[in-house]
Amino acid sequence: MNFETRCVHTGVDKDKAFNSCTTPIYTSSTFSWDTLTTNKGFDYTRSGNPTRRALEENLASLEGGIDCRATCTGMAAITTSMYLFKPGDHIIAGHDIYGGTYRLFANVLTEQGLQFSFVNMQDMANIKAAIRPNTKGIWIETPSNPLLNIIDIAAITSIAKAANLLTIADNTFLSPYLQRPFELGVDVVVHSTTKYLNGHSDVVGGCVITRTKEHADRISYITNALGLACSPFDAWLVLRGVKTLGPRMEAHQKGAMAVARFLAAHPKVEHVYYPGLETHPQHALAKKQQKGFGAMLSFDVKGGRPEAERVMENLQVFQLAESLGGVESLVEYPETMSHASMSLEARRAAGISERTIRVSIGIEHPDDLVAGLKHALTFA
């Protein structure tokens, strides 16, 4: 079956009791056994739940994996995946990864004995140079946040294969509709389902998707042992959201392209960061490894912080809020919001200035989004 059809049906219509067309929410924490050794496949909701299982089957299918575990947040999914490593292992990650992931790696997991190198992954030489005798994995996140740098997934997995390293990709920014890391050789895929997979800004969640039995068994064991699975109600919300993933992503992208082109031509805008623009340095790579350019973009306003502030204070349609991937368009200021936990030097080194504004394009009509920004930019 095709992708859009699997979004709607995989895992969903399995209720044998009443033939319900959508998945029931099984809130039960426990399930009774038929005999001392047999049950109907579920015994306790931390370990497994029919509603959560429906979501997991759906997401595994969309990424092209063999199994999935749905977790209570994206960070819980990332935490779970890092248990594929052991104390003493060294992992290479990008220098511009999601802030929460950087915090987990640099401040928490290093205390548990893992070692990290954060390098600019646009240059494969940096990755090769970072490999040590105890290197066991490479963390992949593309496009990057907030500047939409693209890294070459296939080139990284070929380095990883040669050095026998595990690759884990955070595919949150594009969703499996636009990018499928398994097809480019990645071993494990994680998501914050909070973003495009749920798509309606009304739940936080995550998932870990695997493609070998060995990794599937380990991830299943760890999610249960750590107790990081999501609630049946949250699973149901994400399953409901994911049914419209394809049409939503198309609408998101259409708006993003219109906004990117408008901003690129605007006299008060200095630079637009969007892989869909021919001027983006990795436009060709994005075209090759993605099935579309996504709906995240950033731009630098001419001037400085006062100009950026006036734009954000005078927005129409857009709301000033963190997060992304929902049907409503959001604008946020990396300097004081999403990237405030980075040091000033680290922000500047990553190319984030006080003129930088990040935008998550929703599914509103592109004309209204352009009008909203046009209005705001008259104050810049």
Ligand X SMILES: *Cc1c(COP(=O)(O)O)cnc(C)c1O
Contact positions vs ligand X (CB under 6 A): 73-75, 98, 100-101, 170, 172-173, 192, 194-195, 204, 206
Please, what is the Cα angle at 127 between 126 and 132, to 5 degrees? 110
The number of CA neighbours under 13 Å toward the Cβ of 307 is 17
Which residues have C-beta within 8 Å of that of residue 358, sequence separation ≥ 6?
145, 146, 296, 297, 298, 331, 332, 333, 334, 338
Q: Which residues pair with 198 in a beta bridge?
A: none
If the CB atoms of residues 23 and 71 are measured against ligand X, the closer one turns out to be 71
Pair of tokens at residue 72:
């209570």
Segment holding 272, helix H or strand E: strand 269-273
**CB of 194 vs ligand X, minimal distance in Å:** 4
Question: How far apart are CB 131 and ligand X at their closest, in Å?
Answer: 24
Q: Look up residue 231 and give its DSSP letter.
A: P
Q: Cα separation of 317 and 74, whole Å?
A: 27
Q: Which CB sits closer to ligand X, 9 or 103?
A: 103
CA gap 376, 202 in Å, rounded: 27
H or E stretch at 75: helix 74-82
Kindly state the smallest distance separating residue 53's Cβ from ligand X, in Å.
Answer: 20
Smallest separation (angstroms) from ligand X to the CB of 306: 29
C-beta of 258: minimal distance to ligand X in Å?
Answer: 23
Whole-number Å distance between alpha carbons of 300 and 356: 4
Alpha-carbon distance of 263 to 302, in angstroms, equals 12
Helices and strands, number each (H, E), in the chain? 14, 12
Strand order in the sheet with 206-210: 67-71, 206-210, 188-192, 166-170, 135-141, 90-94, 115-119
Cβ–Cβ under 8 Å, residues 58 and 207: no
> What is d(CA 182, CA 367) in angstroms, rounded to the nearest whole number?
36
Please, what is the minimum distance in Å from the beta carbon of residue 195 to ligand X?
A: 6
Closest residue by beta carbon to ligand X:
74
Identify which of residues 194 and 231 has a Cβ nearer to ligand X in the complex. 194
Nearest distance, CB of residue 40 and ligand X, angstroms:
31
Q: What are the phi and psi torsion angles at 14 (to 5°)?
A: -125, 10
Residues recognised as catalytic: 46, 98, 170, 195
Which residue number, 98 or 116, has a Cβ lying nearer to ligand X?
Answer: 98
Taken as a whole, the chain contains a residue count of 380
